[in-house]
Amino acid sequence: MAGTPPLDTSQKDLWDEIAFEKDFHDTFYLAHFAPLVKSGESIIDFGCGYGRVLQYLFEAGYSNLRGYDFSPEMIKRGKVLYPHLKLKLLENDALSIPVDDTSVDAVILSTVLCCIPDITHQKKLISEIGRVLRPGGALYISDFLISTDKKVLNKYEGGYEKFSEYGVYQTSDGMIVRHHESSYIRALTENFLELWWYEEASETMNGNPVHAFHSLFQKIS
């Protein structure tokens, strides 16, 4: 993607800077997740940040939980807030999940794809998730869709001038993010069975209006 830096320290340093300042509020719809994933099954939250979603699952009775993130400061904050959670730093390849093939029952991506602006990297991550999930395993994705809000449209226009791709822009924190068309997300997950899809008005961590989606997929084989 023209003009966009790879997923490396260029983004990691920015996440480190805000790790103890920003709170995440995106909803996790347990009522749709729970029928497919039992409380004792293994769950990975990839791009877990400080572990907010895992803590929610822990409080709901889930115990086999692991979180991975490439920001040392996010992991540090999580260990302070939730010392009982298994939060691990991705020290080498930020797009690889350090577990065996078909060894995981569920993977969660909660507003992670928006933080990976390079489509090639997104495809690599989804392929990696397919590797670690067992057949029939669950993939829960929540993220941001292309918005029609005037404030966000202005960001898209500025982002298009800089990056030559619509839906990609730079936040006030300096991060490069991508919002998606629903058709793109479905193409990205074409090797999974879509079980549930829901859209709603939401906001970013900076309080900007955005159109969000929540979805649940199942690994076919």
Residue 124 domain-assigned (yes or no) = yes
Residue 69 domain-assigned (yes or no) = yes
Nearest CA to 68 out of 36, 28, 97 is that of: 97
Per-residue pLDDT, 91: 84
| Residue 2, pLDDT above cutoff 60 | no
- Give Cα separations from 197 to 85, 187, 212, 216 (angstroms): 28, 14, 11, 7
5-9, 17-21, 129-133, 157-161: lowest mean pLDDT where?
A: 5-9
Answer yes or no: are the C-beta atoms of 103 and 136 closer than 8 Å. Answer: no
Q: What is the pLDDT of residues 73-89, one digit of tens each?
A: 999 999 999 999 999 99
Per-residue pLDDT, 10: 60
E-assigned strand segments in 72-208: 86-89, 104-110, 133-145, 168-170, 176-178, 192-203
Answer yes or no: are the C-beta atoms of 211 and 145 closer than 8 Å. Answer: yes
Residue 3 domain-assigned (yes or no) = no
Rounded distance between C-alpha atoms, residue 66 and residue 44, angstroms: 5
- Mean pLDDT across 116-144: 96
* CATH number, domain with residue 89: 3.40.50.150
Residue 2 domain-assigned (yes or no) = no
Residue 160 domain-assigned (yes or no) = yes
Residue 86 domain-assigned (yes or no) = yes
Outline where 103-172 has alpha helix (H): 119-132, 150-163
User: What's the domain count of the chain?
Assistant: 1
59 against 174, higher pLDDT: 59
- Mean pLDDT across 23-52: 94
Query: Confidence band (pLDDT; 50, 70, 90) for 204?
Result: confident
**DSSP-derived pairing of the beta strands 168-170 and 176-178:** antiparallel
| Residue 185, pLDDT above cutoff 70 | yes
Using a CB cutoff of 8 Å and minimum separation of 24, what contacts does 59-62 make? 60/30, 60/34, 62/37
- Mean pLDDT across 68-74: 93
Give strand pairing partners of 140: 108, 216
Per-residue pLDDT, 18: 76
What tokens appear for 66 in the block?
Answer: 């692991």
Per-residue pLDDT, 14: 75
Residue 81 domain-assigned (yes or no) = yes
Give strand pairing partners of 184: none
Per-residue pLDDT, 7: 40
Rounded distance between C-alpha atoms, residue 152 and residue 211, angstroms: 10
Q: What percent of the chain has pLDDT over 90?
A: 77
Residue 145 domain-assigned (yes or no) = yes
- Give Cα separations from 124 to 79, 86, 115, 119, 129 (angstroms): 28, 24, 14, 9, 9
Per-residue pLDDT, 31: 97
- Please give the residue range of the domain that contains residue 97: 9-21+29-219
